[in-house]
Copies of this chain bind each other. A is one copy, B any other.
Amino acid sequence: MFNKVLIAEDLDSISVAVIQALEMLSVVEIHHAKYCDDAYLKIKKALLDKVPYNLLISDLSFKTDHRENKLTSGEELIEAVKKVQPDIKTIVFSIEDKSFRIKSLFNTLGINAYVSKGRNSLPELQTAIQRVYENEDKIISNELSHTLRGKSIFEIEAYDISLLKLLSKGYILDEIAKELKEAGISPNGSSSIEKRINKLKVYFKASNNVHLIAITKDLGLV
């Protein structure tokens, strides 16, 4: 089993449970950080001292408070950590359950497992740790695996997300067109953008732009 594990989790109510779960797996060294910055520093320090961590278990969202932090999310933390220690194993333990976001965690960050906080997540987390230790990869906890399978024909792409983001910032069509042109993204004619937004409205069964943003906000796409 892993002998040195770091947990990045802000909620104390969750971290105590995770620590307990790790103890049951007889991990000897279990460390915990409440802020991403702290977690990053611990990993760098351990690396310098030649006693690096084998595994990082991280949440995605961290509450903001009085403290100024460079790294504010699990994504940022993992990205930064992988730069200094590419061989570290990573498990994301988060409440997030939107397939779009989880997929991108595997693809862009190369995490080893994703466990969704839920009604039976502690055992799932334990088996995920076990399987990652045995060098398995791309592990998704039970509760989620079904939602990730049922994929829709119409795949939401990064382009659609940018449109939704710009819309949610209050931009009007012409402004979005201008923005995309400057960013070198195409299609960028206001008519095409209009059409694409229309597709999104059909797909999400939204009756207008306001409705569309409300729905996609709920889904965590923006």
Interface residues in chain A, defined as those with a beta carbon under 8 Å from any beta carbon in chain B? 10-14, 16-18, 20, 34, 63, 65, 95, 97, 117-122, 125, 143, 167-170, 172, 206-211, 213-214, 217-218, 222
Contacts and interface: CB of A to CB of B under 8 A. Distances in A.
Residue of A207, A210, A217 with most chain B CB atoms under a 10 A cut-off: A210
A97 B63 CA distance: 10
A39 to B, nearest CB: 13
A211 B210 CA distance: 8
The 8 closest A-B CB pairs, nearest first, are A170-B211, A168-B214, A170-B207, A217-B217, A13-B17, A13-B14, A16-B17, A34-B119
Contacts of A34: 119
Contacts of A206: 170
A193 to B, nearest CB: 14
A172 B209 CA distance: 11
A8 to B, nearest CB: 12
Given A209-B210, A210-B170, A214-B169, A119 B65 contact: yes
Given A207-B170, A213-B210, A222-B214, A16 B11 contact: no
Nearest to A207: B170
Contacts of A217: 213-214, 217-218
Nearest to A124: B12
B169 A118 contact: no
A72 to B, nearest CB: 14
Given A11-B117, A11-B119, A34-B119, A211 B17 contact: no
Contacts of A209: 209-210
B121 A208 contact: no
Given A143-B65, A217-B218, A218-B217, A121 B210 contact: no
A170 B121 CA distance: 36
Given A13-B121, A16-B17, A170-B214, 7 more contacts: A13-B13, A17-B17, A167-B210, A172-B208, A209-B209, A209-B210, A213-B213
A67 to B, nearest CB: 10
A36 to B, nearest CB: 12
